[in-house]
Amino acid sequence: MAKQDSRRDWSDHYWWSSDGVRLHARVYAGPDGTEKAPPILCMPGLARNARDFEALAVDVARHRKVIVIEFRGRGESAYAKDPMTYVPLTYVQDVVAMLDELAIARFAIIGTSLGGLVAMLMAGTLPGRLVGAVLNDVGPELEAAGLARIRDYIGAGGSQPTWMHAARAFGELNSAVYPGYEIHDWLRLTKRTHRLTAEGRIVTDYDKQIAAPLRVPGGADAAADLWPVYRALGAIPLLILRGELSDILGRAAAQKMVAELPQARLVEVRGVGHAPTMDEPEARAAIDAWAAELPAA
């Protein structure tokens, strides 16, 4: 089910998960004549939503269809009744349900953090269907310090009275991630990650219960060996973005990823941590070059 607003660049698509959660995606149609080209699925990070891709999706959709997923519990996707379904394998099932509904056989993925983990799992479970991938500051080996930082802040926090208050608070929390940001940058990022409540307060735009699986002992640790699903990316066009200051994807791990799959290209985004917004010029140029390598049909 989709609805188009003539004032926007996208239409809304809603579908249902197997356990009855109503899910949402933004669909950017792409230019005429590209209907047979595999679309690009954009998948956000753990606490993020479709607005993370509001600039990038418009750019990429100049060449082909783009579908920006909102995982359950984020943005306009409904919250799950069972918080223990906030795990990557469930997100894979949710996305596959959408692919089946839209009869999409082949696709590429741009995945930030959690979205990149989902991309790797889909490569391993849907052989031959993934035609290209961008892994934004994520890989099969994750740094323990960064995982601990995420576990500490995810699901926490209250509300703020104005967007400016929220931007200043968000900036204080993430100053090490984007050390060069000014208040206008924080305000832009805050409007992507927060929402206005009916009571007029500013809050993060996700279900706080997404943190529940991370609170389980070992839940924030990469205990599973993800190298096999990473290798399942095979010979497709593969771009690895790494924030220069990242505490999630270490430089050694990123270099090992390139060594494991020689077709992979590594681009380090200067001056940012986890994760690049992909609005950075070097990230955008790398994504444009990657998209040009994707199959036309």
Q: What pLDDT is attached to residue 262?
A: 86
**Mean pLDDT for the stretch of residues 222-242:** 91
Evaluate if residue 243 carries a pLDDT over 50.
Answer: yes
Interval 98-136: pLDDT, tens: 999 999 999 999 999 999 999 999 999 999 999 999 999
Tokens of 87: 């795990």
Report CA-CA distances (Å) from 227 to 96, 125, 155, 230: 22, 14, 29, 5
User: CATH number for the 2-155+206-292 domain, one of 3.30.390.30, 1.10.1200.10, 3.40.50.1820, 1.10.443.10?
Assistant: 3.40.50.1820
**Mean pLDDT for the stretch of residues 75-84:** 98
Q: How far apart are CA 174 and CA 53, in angstroms?
A: 19
Evaluate if residue 4 carries a pLDDT over 80.
Answer: no
Tokens of 189: 């990022």
Q: What pLDDT is attached to residue 155?
A: 85
| CA dihedral of 284, 287, 289, 293, whole degrees rounded to 10 | -160
Q: How far is CA 213 from the centre of its chain?
A: 18
Evaluate if residue 6 carries a pLDDT over 90.
Answer: no
**Mean pLDDT for the stretch of residues 223-231:** 89
Q: How far apart are CA 10 and CA 7, in angstroms?
A: 9
**Mean pLDDT for the stretch of residues 212-236:** 82
Domain boundaries, the chain: 2-155+206-292
Q: What pLDDT is attached to residue 137?
A: 98
Pairing of strands 11-16, 22-28: antiparallel
Q: What pLDDT is attached to residue 216?
A: 82
